[in-house]
Amino acid sequence: MRDPNYAFAYLDERTKRMIRRAILKAVAIPGYQVPFGSREMPLPYGWGTGGIQVTAAILGPRDVLKVIDQGADDTVNAVNIRRFFERTAGVATTERTRDATIIQTRHRIPETPLTERQIIVYQVPVPEPLQRLEPREAETRRMHALADYGLMHVKLYEDVARYGHVSTTYDYPVLVNGRYVMAPSPIPKFDNPKMHMNPALQLFGAGREKRIYAVPPYTSVESLAFEDHPFEAQRWHKPCALCGAADSFLDEVVTDDRGGRMFVCSDTDYCGERRQRKEAA
Amino acid sequence: MYVAVKGGEAAIDQSLRLVAEARRGDPEQPELSLLQIRQQLRLLVDRVMAEGSLCDPDLAALALKQAAGDATEAIFLLRAFRATLPRLGYTLPVDTASMRLQRRISAIFKDLPGGQVLGPTYDYTQRLLDFTLAEAELGTVPICENRGAQMGTVPEVPPMGTVPSLELLDQEGLIERQIPLRDDPAPGDLTREPLRFPAERAVRLQNLARGDEGFLLAMGYSTQRGYAHSHPFAGEIRYGALEVEFVPEELGFPVVIGEIELTECQMVNQFAGSKSEPPQFTRGYGLAFGHCERKAMAMALVDRALRAEELGERVESPAQMQEFVLSHSDCLEASGFVQHLKLPHYVDFQAELELVRKMR
């Protein structure tokens, strides 16, 4: 039931229009961080306020919303955000990736391939991929403007020289549409290849840092690497202990206090659907 | 077996119930009223208003009650509420010289026109616990007859329209003049536009005005301990009430829409001079809703430190670096991001776990 005390999806229409304009600009310049007048949301900064504002701006009454955190629908923050939109927008929600029109996510891309009629909204803590190398925004802005990404390549090179491989495992930098280096948000690099030529619109919201950026459908997203050290995603030796999937990101679950471990899909919907299908067969 | 994070929904409901209980405390005890909070915790209310960027003591009191006295949480509630309010227009600039003063002191003059007015201050209290306050219902105090509590020989003047003491320096040309920029451009609005760097002074002051008091205090303090020398003097600190005027479009002339309380601090700092400017004093400025003296003073120190580049001083200390100061001053941004570490991070951690195993 929608709470009549608040505007549809919480934000007033003027604020939503401002956010939509930022989104349009972001879509027009793939990978470019568009500054926007981020508002204080009733959830804390760092807990998905950017994603929430983007979702609020694009949500319509007929949308079906899915919210995941770490790939799961039932983690506390995902539950909280889903409830927020149930309360303020009264929209239908789902845990099934296939049924959703908008998927708001933190730290994962669903295993089930997305389609053209879907939008995925990423919650972004740090939108600036160069921030750890250069904390001054005035500088990083200049570097993006000149496509001067030498600093990033040197960092990756130093990793290779020191460890024999790139030591970034999540929030692994990507080059979008051959132009802007972009932070994919803290998804594991396992998910990076899913961003490439994805049929769905991918929107990124960073509330605290007040930036929105986007990857339009069917846009090239290339994980940074070297010819002799190509990009490599994580792999597991065993399939999921619950559904047997060999193609999904696995979480390590501690099963007892004697070092027992099992590996299961982090995407709970994907895992559940596979198990259901197995049972039915 | 797979129980790691299941049951989130039921757990949240239970947690909400527990926090409501914890907030209320023993139901046998009478509940705090908003008026009590507003009157008896006025300085806390003022801080929440200042950092919440919303001048409404009743809502600030409500936020404090709901947040069980946690200032940052109360500021959060106020800001989130503020975000839903439409922007009707802008009031006329207020002139703090016309403040109805409750307090006004200057540390750079022994005496000055209008006098030193101490007003309500803890400055000259001995910090001894007053056990008579522990005896409930006995906490009545005699009403002070001369509410201004003036010092010195200055005769009783209504403490209103008092000339800011820095103007005395201005008459001699010893302090930089504060003249509006050419064409007096409208200041940016941080609540509508994101902070961009480099930020002009008006935007910096907005950021500091809603900045965390503790952060600004530490930053200001650092300038006194060798990180950005600025040799400050408290030129003037004033606290009092001001009328706020607004020009409704359909009327075309200003009408008073209410009164707000403000604390203002003007710091005076040494300046050795440059190629184009003779040696003179420069200014740092602090302003906050309500009675927030520590905040206003710290803000003035930081404002002056952030002017280093403009005044041709070397930028080498954190308090002089605008990206460092302005990006980390907001208590909500800081609190939210620090505390987001409580959220599950097991996917990223899994990836790191694999990496560490691989590297060993």
Residue B6's pLDDT band (cuts 50, 70, 90): low
Is A265 in the active site? yes
Mutation site, A14, A18, A40, interface B, largest B CB count within 10 A: A40
CB contact under 8 A, A138 and B323: yes
Per-residue pLDDT, averaged over A61-81, amounts to: 93
Chain A interface includes B2 (CB < 8 A): yes
Lowest mean pLDDT among A19-23, B67-71, B167-171, B286-290: B167-171
Chain A interface includes B342 (CB < 8 A): no
Residues B252-278 have pLDDT tens digits of 999 999 999 999 999 998 877 777 778
Q: At what angle do helices A49-58 and A13-28 cross, to 10 degrees?
A: 100
Q: pTM of the prediction?
A: 0.85
Chain A interface includes B19 (CB < 8 A): no
Per-residue pLDDT, averaged over A167-176, amounts to: 94
CB contact under 8 A, A14 and B345: no
Please report the pLDDT score of residue A248 as a whole number: 95
Per-residue pLDDT, averaged over B271-287, amounts to: 85
Please pick, among A31, A48, A71, A207, the residue that the annotation labels catalytic: A31
> Nearest residue on chain B to A264, judged by CA atoms?
B2
Lowest mean pLDDT among B82-86, B128-132, B170-174: B170-174
> Nearest residue on chain B to A267, judged by CA atoms?
B347
* CA distance from start to end of chain A: 37
Percentage, residues of chain A above pLDDT 70: 100
Q: At what angle do helices B293-306 and B201-209 cross, to 10 degrees?
A: 150
For chain A positions 237-266, those within 8 Å of chain B (CB to CB) are 242, 249-253, 255, 262, 264, 266
- State the Cα–Cα distance between residues A70 and A66, nearest whole angstrom: 13
- State the Cα–Cα distance between residues A195 and B289, nearest whole angstrom: 48
Please report the pLDDT score of residue B161 as a whole number: 61
Q: Cβ neighbours of residue A127 under 8 Å, at least 6 residues apart?
A: A33, A183, A204, A206, A209, A211, A213
> CA geometry: angle at B192 spanning B191 and B198, to 5°?
85
- State the Cα–Cα distance between residues A23 and A193, nearest whole angstrom: 23
Please report the pLDDT score of residue B151 as a whole number: 57
What are the two backbone dihedrals, phi and then psi, of residue A88, each rounded to the nearest 5 degrees?
-90, -20
Q: Cβ neighbours of residue A48 under 8 Å, at least 6 residues apart?
A: A77, A81, A104, A106, A123, A207
- Kindly tell me if the per-residue pLDDT of B84 is higher than 90: no
Residues A188-229 have pLDDT tens digits of 999 999 999 999 999 999 999 999 999 999 999 999 999 999
**Within its chain, how far is the Cα of A145 from the centroid?**
24
Please pick, among A240, A259, A260, A272, the residue that the annotation labels catalytic: A240
**What is the token pair recorded at B90?**
């802008």
Is A164 in the active site? no
> Nearest residue on chain B to A138, judged by CA atoms?
B197
**What is the token pair recorded at A112?**
């089930």
Please report the pLDDT score of residue A138 as a whole number: 92
> Nearest residue on chain B to A5, judged by CA atoms?
B84
Lowest mean pLDDT among A35-49, B21-35, B106-120: B106-120
- Is residue B204 within 8 A of residue B306, CB to CB? The reply is yes
Percentage, residues of chain B above pLDDT 70: 91
Please report the pLDDT score of residue B144 as a whole number: 59
Count how many pairs of residues, chain A against chain B, have C-beta atoms within 8 Å.
146
**What is the token pair recorded at B324?**
């460092």
Residue B1's pLDDT band (cuts 50, 70, 90): very low
Please report the pLDDT score of residue A227 as a whole number: 93
Q: How far is CA B260 from CA B76, B202, B239, B352, in A?
A: 21, 20, 11, 53
CB contact under 8 A, B84 and A41: no
**What is the token pair recorded at A9?**
């999806």
- Kindly tell me if the per-residue pLDDT of B4 is higher than 50: no
Residue B157's pLDDT band (cuts 50, 70, 90): very low
Say which of B7, B80, B338 has its CB closest to residue A41. Answer: B80
CB contact under 8 A, A169 and B344: no
